[in-house]
Amino acid sequence: MNTSLTPNAAIEAAVSSEVELDYAASCELPTPWATFRLHAFVEPATGKEHVAITLGDVTDGEPVLARIHSECLTGDGLFSLRCDCGPQLEAALQKIAEEGRGALFYLRQEGRGIGLVNKIRAYQLQDAGADTVEANEALGFKPDQRNYKLCQPMLRHLKISTLRLMTNNPRKIKAMEQLGVKVVERVPLVITRNPFNERYLTTKAAKLGHLF
């Protein structure tokens, strides 16, 4: 079953569902690069918890250096080499720290929105020869099921309306613009290739339109 979306349909799907988030709490988050501010949000409909990480004054109306990062336990927490997620997360926090101001939105959308167990099932199919898009489709999912509308209440709470977005994904920029968020600059976030992520990155470019 081919569940691929056209670029426009993919963008519409990424912002189509209404999302409500409740702000929960904030605290300091000391890291090797800076002491950030960690803001917790809860999605009442699902119970999922999402966070924003900020540094400096992001409420002054100036464009904010930002990263929208979807959860990747294998890459972010288990140091997997088969994707670029962990290195992108670290590089984004470093760039924000170097600038002294910025925001990172960490969305609990594991495996491009299919969940951890299904991502591991997709990995099993990839081990047998499928690429990332083919594996998702074989499991009955779209290549990318993430909903960036999760960012809208977080941005509103933090009083952010204009971004300098760290991304290689043009669909993410268009999704933000459809939500009324102005993106004044795309800041590339390119990670070194290795034998384990080479096909993953090639598929991102060829089938999902990522820019490297």
131 catalytic per annotation:
no
CA separation for the pair 148, 203 (Å, rounded): 21
Out of 84, 146, 186, 199, the active site residue is 146
Strands (E), 63-145: 64-70, 102-107
Residue 34 to residues 26, 30, 58, 154, 188: CA-CA distances in angstroms? 16, 6, 16, 21, 21
Nearest C-alpha neighbor of 149 from the set 180, 103, 112, 118: 180
The C-alpha atoms of residue 149 and residue 172 are separated, in whole angstroms, by 11
How many Å separate Cα 59 from the centre of its chain?
22
Residue of 144, 156, 164, 193 marked catalytic: 144
Q: Give me the phi and psi of 46, to 5 degrees please.
A: -120, -15
121 assigned to active site: no
In the annotated binding site for GTP, the residues are 67-71, 88, 110-112, 132, 167, 172
**What are residue 103's DSSP bridge partners?**
54, 66
Alpha carbons 32 and 52: distance in angstroms, whole number = 18
Which residue from 97, 63, 64, 90 is spatially nearest to 76, judged by alpha carbons? 90
Query: Which of the residues are catalytic?
Result: 144, 146
